[in-house]
Amino acid sequence: MTDAAPATPLATPLSVLIIEDDPDVLLGCEQALQLEGIATQSAGSVEQARKRLGANFAGVVVSDIRLPGADGMALLRELHALDPELPVVLITGHGDVSLAVQAMKDGAYDFIEKPFAPEHLVDVTRRALDKRRLTLEVRALRARLEGEDQLEARLIGRAPAMVRTRRLIVDLANSAADVLIFGETGTGKELVARCLHEAGPRRSGNFVAINCGGLPDTLFESEIFGHEAGAYTGAGKKRIGKIEHANGGTLFLDEIESMPLAMQIKLLRVLQERSLERLGSNTPIPVDCRVVAATKADLKELADQGRFRADLYYRLSVATLPLPPLRERREDIPLLFEHFLLQAAARHERPVPAADAARLNLLMAYDWPGNVRELRNVADRCVLGIEAGVAPFAAAPTGPQHLAETVESFERALIADALARHGGSLARTAEALGVAKTTLHDKIRKYHLGEQG
């Protein structure tokens, strides 16, 4: 049997694997099902069938009981141990009814006694396929929800933009499409790229990160493409480049806007042909990696100005994933700050300082040019007791406009947190906050909190 595969996507068509060593019976079963639009596969023995079956096999099994080598009963026991919910229909000959009854006790979906009418085979198979389709849909939904739960623990935030970001990661994770992540410095672009990698089928491969702005031009080509021994002065031995190292995994290109134009041309060719040549070699090497690029600049605008290749931009932006700056999701600041305080306290072996209202008010009022990364640094300083004199604590902003913004931000965060704790219930949230439901409803509309669901 093959290893367990990810839950079958709902759009995947199901098929019937027919296991039958009699060519005439096999042909009759195939024709009966195919005439009704049901896809089929065939195998002449259990040994052949094992190569096609796994825990999430996208279909059902129709097998003769009497087979050369391992028989249908042995197969049933194997499949039941592998996937108890996989429907197995057994074909029995005259005198095998007692075996069929035992098979039903052992978990077979149904049995068909020879000789049988094609219509009967089709009817039993359709019911089995409907059952299998429902099973796989439920599994896919559970896998998606588990993925979202895991993402929520890593990409913290209840703001609508973060909810959408997590959903988009789940949608894109199993796709082979290259992704362009756009966000300001410190918004967590590499973390999002790692989440895409770890939630997808390439998680067992390497996640290879390259900071395109941190490599000198003289070393860029060798680092990315690799080189053969003697390719240039100082190249004493062969080196595997970053792209080749990412084969079977994910290549993360951070600050892609900083990549030299000459390298952009070569990267584009690799992305189009999915092969590369090391420096000093003419031998093409096939590479199969997903490319996730990140930028803090508007690549389309740079392309229009001739400062970034337009063809590379369109090649990288098959799917785009924008990340909001922290100032646009202020309601997440208390939750993030508490999380970072706990992490910092564990790391520095210090007690967790209280996140009192005065401190939170300053955090909510600050504009966070360094985004989440800056907030994490502030949490570290608070744990170490060295936050005094450093933004956002250096100078508390004053003035009626800023005070109003602070109050609104804090109120929005308070309501969002209460809604989350009470499962989105308007009545329970209003009761917990001590306000009328109509007042709460107006504030939810004002702060667009209804978008979170």
- Kindly state the average pLDDT of the residues 223-241: 85
Please indicate, yes or no, whether residues 135 and 164 belong to a single structural domain of this protein.
no
| Residue 22: exposure state from Cβ atoms within 10 A (0-12, 13-18, ≥19) | middle
E strands, 288-374, in order:
290-295, 319-322
Between CA 100 and CA 94 the distance in angstroms is: 11
Half-sphere exposure of 408 (CA within 13 A, CB side): 15
Contacts of 233 (CB under 8 A, 6+ apart): none
Please give the share of the chain, as a percent, with pLDDT higher than 70: 91
| Structural domain ending residue among the three candidates 324, 356, 391 | 324
- Residue 2: pLDDT band with limits 50, 70, 90: low
Does the residue 204 lie in any domain? Answer: yes
| pLDDT of res. 141 | 66
Rounded to whole angstroms, the Cα distance separating 414 from 416 reads 6
Say if residue 179 is in the same domain as residue 228: yes
Q: What is the spatial distance between Cα 270 and Cα 8, in angstroms, rounded to a whole number?
A: 31
User: Please, what's the b/e burial string for 242-273 (b: 16 or more CB within 10 A of its CB; e: otherwise)?
Assistant: bbbbbbebbbbbbbbbbbeeebbebbbebbee
Question: Long-range contacts for 97-103 (Cβ within 8 Å, ≥24 apart)?
Answer: 99/65, 99/73, 100/65, 102/73, 103/65, 103/72, 103/73, 103/76
**Domain presence at residue 8:** no
Please check the confidence at residue 318 and state whether its pLDDT lies above 50. Answer: yes
Higher-confidence position of 232 and 140: 232
Q: Would you say residue 390 has pLDDT above 70?
A: yes
Query: Are 292 and 394 contained in the same domain?
Result: no
- Do residues 57 and 33 touch, judged by C-beta distance below 8 A? no
Query: Last residue of a domain, which of 273, 301, 324?
Result: 324
CA distance 220 to 243: 12
If asked whether residues 284 and 251 sit together in one domain, one would say yes
Residues 15-55 pLDDT 10s: 999 988 889 898 999 999 999 999 999 888 888 888 888 77
Determine the Cα–Cα distance for residues 257 and 297; give it in Å rounded to an integer.
7
Q: Look at residue 453 in the predicted model and tell me its pLDDT.
A: 37
Query: Bridge partners of 404?
Result: none
Total structural domains within the chain: 3
> Lowest-pLDDT range, 142-146, 254-258, 412-416, 423-427?
142-146
User: Tell me: the pLDDT tens digits for 169-183?
Assistant: 988 988 889 999 999
Torsion of the alpha carbons at 49, 62, 102 and 65, rounded to the nearest 10: -60
Backbone angles phi, psi at 318, to 5 degrees: -55, -45
**Low-confidence winner among 212-221, 225-234, 320-329 (lowest mean pLDDT):** 212-221
In a domain, 5, yes or no: no
Question: For residue 41, is it within any domain?
Answer: yes
Domain coverage including residue 274: 155-324
Residue 6 in domain: no
pLDDT tens figures, 421-451: 777 888 888 888 888 888 888 888 888 886 4
pTM of the model: 0.61
Report yes or no on 145 lying in a domain.
no
Task: Based on the fold, state whether residues 242 and 185 are members of the same structural domain.
Answer: yes
Res 397 pLDDT > 60: no
Residue 7 lies in a domain: no
pLDDT of 395 > 50? The answer is yes
From 140, 174, 202, give the residue that closes a domain.
Answer: 140
What distance in Å separates the CA atoms of residue 91 and residue 99, rounded to the nearest whole number?
Answer: 11
**Cα(436)–Cα(348) distance, integer angstroms:** 44
Residues 123 and 64 in one domain: yes
One domain for residues 233 and 273: yes
pLDDT band at residue 403 using 50, 70 and 90 as cut-offs = low
Same domain, 268 and 370: no
CB 25 within 8 A of CB 152: no
Please check whether residues 184 and 311 belong to one and the same domain. yes
CATH number of the domain at 296, please: 3.40.50.300
Domain identity same for 278 and 332: no
SS3 (DSSP) at 35: coil
Q: Residues 245, 296: one domain?
A: yes
Range 352-365 average pLDDT? 82
Bridge partner residues of 293 (DSSP): 180, 253
Instruction: Examine the domain organization and report whether 339 and 293 are in the same domain.
Output: no
CB-based contact 26:20 (threshold 8 Å) = yes
Banded pLDDT at 65 (limits 50, 70, 90): confident
Neighbours of 413 (CB within 10 A): 22
324/366 Cα distance (integer angstroms): 16
Within a domain: 376: yes
Distance CA 255, CA 233 (A): 29
Q: Which of 193-197, 217-221, 415-419 is predicted most confidently?
A: 193-197
Mean pLDDT, residues 331-344 taken together:
90
